[in-house]
A and B are shown apart, each in its own frame.
Chain A
Amino acid sequence: MNTNTALVNKTEDLPGDFAIWIFILAEMLVFGVMFIVYAFARSNQLEVFNASQLTLSRGMGTLNTIILITSSYFVVRAVSAIKTGNARQSAHWLLGTIFLGAMFVAVKLWEFKQKFAAGITLETNDFYMYYLTLTFFHLMHVLMGMIILACIVYKLKHGDYSAQEHFGVETGASFWHMVDLLWIVLFPLIYIIR
């Protein structure tokens, strides 16, 4: 094998800690099962699910999707910055990500507030039970991601990561992308498809 062939065929290791990828797969499996259960529950109560779904704000759901996608892009830039040894810039991108995460949380809490003000609870009907449970469970992951990224920012500011050693940044980044990946399915499933 000549050098060029070797370069073309070269595969890289997974970004970040291998353990986070096992965690990511486990989380995706749990959410995947819940998505499928929701879809089959809907097929048994079409009218209830369709009527209730129309009370959701698709605009807010779309806004939150764009917020999460943009935050994922910021994370890509943070990883790119630390790979060139620019810890300060990397921390700035991650702070931007945390800010966008806070915006996502604010929009979601506003949505919950609107529903609770209208007297809607987990017990109103099956659609709202799934809507509140799935989106709250996902919201917890957003909050967990924000805490992880905040810890990485702290370490970046203390010079713990460099162009050579940035394993932790990639690990946190992978977790955040997973949160985005899950929302990519959750958003159309709950807000759009009817």
Chain B
Amino acid sequence: MNTPLNRFATLIWLALVILTIMTFCIGEEVSAGKTVMLSVLLISLIKGQLIANYFMGLRHVSWLWRGIILGYFVVVGGMIAIAYLK
């Protein structure tokens, strides 16, 4: 059934595919560097938020759970960035 909610989920899927292709293009076209690392990590954070909030359905649950997932991506991504900038 093509409800508005399903159509919205389809748009989120499309956004995730575009962000994945962007990540691939960055890996193919741009040589190594801090900008690449930070932009790819930022894309991962956005994708993680889209999946957690709209696919996993955390958008309407307590802010604590959304905060945990966001915190996970910020802490893990931040530590990866620190290791790469070391």
Contact = CB atoms under 8 A, between A and B. Distances in A.
Interface of A: 10-15, 21, 25, 28, 32, 35-36, 39-40, 42-43, 50, 58-59, 62, 65-66, 69-70, 72-73, 75-77, 79-81, 84, 86, 89, 170, 173-174, 177-178, 180-181, 184-185, 187-189, 191-194
B83 A36 contact: yes
Main secondary structure of the interface of B (DSSP, over half): helix
Contacts, number: 128
B61 to A, nearest CB: 5
A32 B61 contact: no
A84 B6 CA distance: 12
Interface in B65-84: 65, 68-69, 72-73, 75-77, 79-80, 83-84
Contact of B23 (A32, A40, A187): A187
Interface of B: 1, 3, 5-6, 9-10, 12-13, 16-17, 20-21, 23-24, 26-28, 32, 36-37, 40-41, 43-44, 47-48, 51-52, 54-58, 60-62, 65, 68-69, 72-73, 75-77, 79-80, 83-84, 86
